[in-house]
Each structure stands twice: as structure tokens, then as C-alpha cells.
Amino acid sequence: MEELTSKRAPRVNTVYVVFAAFFTALVFVVTLFASIPAGFLGANGNINLGDAIIFLASAVLGPAGGAIAGAVGATAANLAGGYMMYAPFTFVIKGAAGFVCGFICRKSNFIKNKHALRRIIAMALAAAVIVTGYFLAELVIISSGFATSDSALMVAALRTIPGNLLQVGISGVIAFIVLPKIYPVYFKTQASRTAAQSGGEDEALIEDGNEVLLNDEHKDEHNDG
């Protein structure tokens, strides 16, 4: 069965735009409200579940949709939550994470016929972008705020890592579990739109939504046998 790669790229149409807007709004809401202060880990900022939505958006919509949802949704949450100094960094970091995750999940030929493994690697690499990006951002923010020794600066930046690792780890698990439920909804919606326009269902979209994406874990086990 055909792999969902660049040959089956996300279709940029009304359905795509609606889902992109939905995921962007959901990133904003979850980042802002599903969060706890990271002070118990000795770090600034919050630990939130917004990254789970970014991973989902990226896997469903591809690199462009994932980047938009991550950059716009998370940055808006920073601004609304009073973390304005992080907003420019968040725009770049979360946008890059969404792009990386979406590209590996939807447009690359990386690890053919191993869909579940590819999603795990995509989310892990996106998580690495987030953890590394905020470590570097903290270095810049702290160093520009006041004079301090290099060792104190490094210690302060390193304190961001445990919280961010916890955040991306939990988000990755949630996204991996929820993703098989989201995929069919998106592809069936696309297929319905195609049917309304052409008078017939798009068999490729139905196949992608139901078989390749929903049951791929079973296929992975079959391919390993």
C-alpha cells in the first residue's frame, strides 16, 4: 500500500485552512491554560501541554501547518500570559519544531513502511529542537538582563532542561496516543469535501485515513514478521 509521503501531501484547501486555524487556536488555549509554573524545578516559565497539539497538527497537516500552529499559537499564548520576553524565541522554536515534525511525518521517505516508528522519531527530533532552543533562549535572555559570571549563566540556562524534557515527553506520549483518532477525522473530512465537489469519494483519502494511518501499527508488526 502506498506510503503517505510527498505524493500524498496535505491538500491546501478550505478543510486544511479550517484545521490549521483550529490547531492554532488549540495550541494557544492549551499552552495558556493547561500549564503549571516550572518553579518547582528551579526554572522560569511554565510546563504546559501545548507541544502535544503542535505534534498533532504537524503529523496531520505537514510541515507548513505544523509550523504555523506552533509559531502563532504558542507565541500568542506567551504574549497573553505575560511572558513577552520569550515570544520572539517561541515563534522561531515552536515553528521550527512543527516544521521538523511535520516534514518527517508527512513529506519525507524516512523509514518507509514504519509509520509508528517514524512518528516517534519525528516527535523526538521536534522535542530536541524545543529543549535546545529554549536552553539557548534562556542564555540570551539572562545574559542580556544583567551581568553575571559565565558559570552562573550556564547553571541558570541548564535549569530549563528538566522542565522542558518533562513537557515534551508528556506531550509526545499524548500526541502518539491521540493521533490515530485524529487522522481519520481529517482525511474523511477531506474526502467528503472532494465528494461534494466531484460527486464521488476520494478513495485515496479514505484509504489514507482508515488503513495506512489508523492501522499502521498492525502493518508494522506484519512487516517485521
pLDDT tens-digit readout, 165-193: 999 999 999 999 999 888 888 878 877 76
The answer to whether position 141 is within a domain reads yes
Its pTM stands at 0.79
Q: How many helices (H) and strands (E) does the chain have?
A: 9, 2
The answer to whether position 92 is within a domain reads yes
Distances (CA, A) of 16 to 108, 145, 170, 193, 222: 19, 41, 27, 11, 32
The answer to whether position 135 is within a domain reads yes
For residues 16 and 12, the model is more confident at 16
% of the chain beyond a pLDDT of 70:
71
- Structural domain boundaries, residue 211: 9-224
- C-alpha span between 147 and 158 (Å, rounded): 17
Q: What is the CATH number of the domain that holds 177?
A: 1.10.1760.20
Most confident of 24-38, 62-76, 96-110: 62-76
The answer to whether position 90 is within a domain reads yes
For residue 41, what pLDDT is reported?
64
Q: What are phi and psi of 37, to 5 degrees?
A: -60, 145
- C-alpha span between 132 and 157 (Å, rounded): 10
Most confident of 37-41, 82-86, 221-225: 82-86
Indicate the pLDDT class of residue 220, thresholds 50, 70 and 90: very low
The answer to whether position 1 is within a domain reads no
The answer to whether position 198 is within a domain reads yes
- Reported residue count of the chain is 225
Number of domains in the chain: 1
For residue 143, what pLDDT is reported?
79
The answer to whether position 2 is within a domain reads no
The answer to whether position 201 is within a domain reads yes
